[in-house]
Amino acid sequence: MEQPKYKRVVLKLSGEAMAGNQGFGIEANTIHSIATQVKELIELNVEVAVVVGGGNIWRGISGSSQGIDRATADYMGMLATVMNSLALQDALETIEVPTRVQTSIEMQQIAEPYIRRRAIRHLEKGRVVIFASGTGNPFFSTDTTAALRAAEIEAEVILMAKNNVDGVYSADPKLDPDAQKYDQLTYMEVLNKNLGVMDSTASSLCMDNHIPLLVFSIMEEGNIKRAILGEKIGTLVKG
């Protein structure tokens, strides 16, 4: 059997990754493809926790630019992540991958509350744990959630799956033809060069807790497995 490089991972899916080419909302085929890729990890006995964003539905910052109170707009964003998490849960269970959704904001009719030790137990039993509603706090992001949960559950790496770019570049490759892709970076370089891999809160948390981050494209099928097997894809950011 192929040997995974990591035993326990946090997979960060941006909300946009759920929308596929339609750019907004939830696209069923795209989620099915993601679920199939996650299943490949479970088959390799990798413990997988997923943090899902919400930008395909609602972002707090855009709401607040329209005059909605920022904290309220952020709570709306956290609710968007719950919708995405339930869609992913459904897609995974359709292909017989056991899952649990845990929310940072209690909504017990639809998901478990976030309980760290219980999450770890689910992972040990081979269930995919989907962390929904971010950190539960406004003014944070789901990237910070991924960093926080990765530290809490002692994940070895955060796999940051992107649907619009295949790694970290010196400039936006869509706007600048001279943009260079990095194979490896430190968090200090990410922060100093303002590379926009993740927000500075998330980068600092990863740096302080020595959690590596692999940024790669999810648009190529099988890439999550390649990442797990340690193939050279994307950009690796380390402390």
Q: Which residues are annotated as a binding site for UMP?
A: 54, 74, 135-142
Per CB under 6 A, 20 contacts ligand UDP? no
Instruction: Quote the CA–CA distance of 208 and 1 in Å, as a whole number.
Output: 34
Name which of 10 and 229 has its Cβ closer to ligand UDP.
10
- CB of 17 vs ligand UDP, minimal distance in Å: 8
Name which of 59 and 100 has its Cβ closer to ligand UDP.
59
- Contacting residue, 85, 142, 163, 203, with ligand UDP by CB under 6 A: 142
Residues 43-62 contacting ligand UDP, CB under 6 A: 53-55, 59-61
Token pair of 138 as six digits: 């406004």
Per CB under 6 A, 138 contacts ligand UDP? yes
Per CB under 6 A, 78 contacts ligand UDP? yes
Instruction: Quote the CA–CA distance of 152 and 149 in Å, as a whole number.
Output: 5
Name which of 142 and 223 has its Cβ closer to ligand UDP.
142
SS (H, E, C) the chain: CCCCCCCEEEEEECHHHHHHHHCCCCCHHHHHHHHHHHHHHHHCCCEEEEEECCCCCCCHHHHHHCCCCHHHHHHHHHHHHHHHHHHHHHHHHHCCCCEEEEECCCCCCCCEECCHHHHHHHHHCCCEEEEECCCCCCCCCHHHHHHHHHHHHCCCEEEEEECCCCCEECCCCCCCCCCCEECEEEHHHHHHCCCCCCCHHHHHHHHHCCCCEEEEECCCCCHHHHHHCCCCCCEEEEC
Backbone angles phi, psi at 47, to 5 degrees: -85, 125
- Contacting residue, 6, 41, 77, 166, with ligand UDP by CB under 6 A: 77
- Contacting residue, 89, 141, 163, 235, with ligand UDP by CB under 6 A: 141
- CB of 160 vs ligand UDP, minimal distance in Å: 9
Token pair of 110 as six digits: 């639809």
From residue 79 to residue 108, what is the string marking binding to ligand UDP with x (rule CB under 6 A)? -xx---------------------------
Name which of 81 and 103 has its Cβ closer to ligand UDP.
81
- Binding-site residues for ATP, please? 12-15, 55, 59, 163, 169, 172
Name which of 141 and 229 has its Cβ closer to ligand UDP.
141
Give how many residues touch ligand UDP by CB under 6 A: 23
Token pair of 58 as six digits: 């609602």
Question: Which residues contribute to the site for ligand UDP (CB under 6 A)?
Answer: 14-16, 53-55, 59-61, 74, 77-78, 80-81, 134-135, 137-138, 140-143, 145
